[in-house]
Amino acid sequence: KYASQPFCIDNDNTLVAVWKTMKRVNPRKNKKLKEERGASFEDIVENGKLLDVRNNPRYPDQYLLIYAFENYAWVVVAGENPDRFITLYRSRKFKKEFGL
C-alpha cells in the first residue's frame, strides 16, 4: 500500500528532490491537463500539499502521489523513475479518506 523508494516525504510534507529534477514533462500534455482538468503538474506539485505516496495497485511500476490542492485530493501518477509524471486527476476516494 505505501511506497518507499524512490519517493519520500520530508518533515515539511514536500516531495524531496523530485520536482527539481523534472525533465520529462511533456508541455503539450501539461497544457491539455490544464485545459481539461483545471490543473497542471506544476500547479499541483508546486502549490499543493503532499499527503501521501503509495504504490499504484493496478500498475506495480507506478506510484500515486496524493496532494491536497484547492480543497480537493489530486493524484499525480508517476513512473518508477521519479523524473516521469504520467497523469493527474481529482480523487473523491482520497478526498474522503483525508477529510478534505
> What is the block-wise mean pLDDT of the chain (100 residues), using blocks of 10 residues?
47 47 71 91 85 88 90 90 81 95
Its CATH class, for the domain covering 19-97, is alpha beta
- Using an 8 Å Cβ cutoff, are 41 and 30 in contact? yes
- Using an 8 Å Cβ cutoff, are 42 and 31 in contact? no
Q: Where are the domains of the chain?
A: 19-97
Grid cell 490543473 is found at: 39
Q: Could you tell me the pTM of the whole model?
A: 0.77
Q: What pLDDT is attached to residue 70?
A: 92
Q: What pLDDT is attached to residue 5?
A: 47
Angle formed at CA 32 by CA 1 and CA 30, multiple of 5 degrees: 60
